Chains A and B, each alone.
Chain A
Amino acid sequence: MPDKSHVGRRYTAPGQRIAPESAQAMAQAIAGDGEVREAGAVPPTFAAVYCLGPTLAQLFSDSEVGIDLAGLIHGEQSFEWPEEVHPGDVIDATAEITSVDTKRGMTFVRLAMEATRPADNAVVCRATSLMIVRATA
């Protein structure tokens, strides 16, 4: 189970290429049966794929932290997009555990993420996530 000793632990995911077909698949999934409003654009929350996905996957498989996925809830999410991401961009992502608190049998893990585009040294996304881990039997 995560505890305060894990604060400061970092996960890095360099070289995430924004594949146009992947961005389009997410735009269509968000649109459902409707039309994608900005065809060819990268949806803002595609940051779930280039920023959260590859770093959180490392957290979830970090046996020293030991998150029980059966009891995991995504509690809160924030994104800032200082620069727009374009298909074909290559993005480096990092995540850091910024706090771990336990209340009422639940563990609250906060993370801060940043995604940068090395080609022009632009920060393209800053994000924070709150993951809540419930104790399971």
Chain B
Amino acid sequence: MTAPALSEVAAGVAVTPFSRIVTQEQINAYADASGDHNPIHLDSEFARSVGLPGTIAHGLLEMGILAEAIASWAGGNANLLSLSCRFSKPLLPGDTIICTGTVISVDDSGVATLEVGASSDRGDRVLTNGRATVRLSR
């Protein structure tokens, strides 16, 4: 994978939208991989007892998918320098997460800052206030 060239990236350039269906099996696998077995992610009865519509995906799973989307556009994990976001709405099993990003600035050292985020196919903005920085190639 190759990073986008500094000469080709400017404010307003958009990351290719990236979408993925998130299943309960994937949430279970993420719980095992991360060690976060909070029952709101795994037990629908418990999740409903605390006011949720059912189990919800881990925010960090959603952020992991967003990181993959941005890193892929940037030419690989090593070019993703930072990522931040707010976990605004839950993502439910069976939802498709849609990750987006737009370059807002590029500095002289070849680092691009992007506004990033993710929404569900139900129209909920699940990851908001997102920012990422990526290293471009010269």
Give the chain B neighbours of A82 by CB distance below 8 A: 81
B2 part of interface (Cβ distance < 8 Å): no
Asked if B68 and A77 sit within 8 Å, CB to CB, the answer is: no
Looking at B34, B36, B71, B78, the one whose CB has the most chain A CB atoms below 10 A away is: B34
Asked if A44 and B77 sit within 8 Å, CB to CB, the answer is: yes
> Number of B interface residues, CB 8 Å?
37
Give the chain A neighbours of B105 by CB distance below 8 A: none
Interchain CA distance A112-B78 in the complex, whole Å? 22
> Number of A interface residues, CB 8 Å?
35
Q: A43-B77, A53-B36 are in contact. Are A28 and B29 (CB under 8 A)?
A: yes
A15 part of interface (Cβ distance < 8 Å): no
B116 part of interface (Cβ distance < 8 Å): no
Interchain CA distance A36-B5 in the complex, whole Å? 24
Asked if B80 and A76 sit within 8 Å, CB to CB, the answer is: no
A49 part of interface (Cβ distance < 8 Å): yes
A74 part of interface (Cβ distance < 8 Å): yes
Q: A43-B68, A74-B59 are in contact. Are A26 and B30 (CB under 8 A)?
A: yes
Asked if B67 and A45 sit within 8 Å, CB to CB, the answer is: yes
Closest to B26 in A: A32
Closest to B87 in A: A74
- Residues in B5-25 with C-beta less than 8 Å from chain A: 20-23
Additional A-B contact list (18), CB under 8 Å, known A26-B33, A32-B21, A81-B80: A26-B64, A29-B30, A30-B30, A30-B64, A32-B26, A33-B26, A41-B77, A44-B67, A45-B63, A45-B83, A48-B60, A49-B34, A49-B35, A73-B87, A74-B87, A77-B87, A79-B82, A82-B81
Rank and list the top 7 A-B pairs by shortest CB-CB distance, nearest first.
A78-B84, A29-B29, A26-B33, A30-B64, A29-B30, A45-B64, A25-B33
- Could you jot down 11 A-B contacts, CB within 8 Å? A29-B26, A32-B22, A33-B26, A37-B68, A41-B77, A43-B64, A43-B77, A44-B71, A44-B77, A48-B60, A77-B60
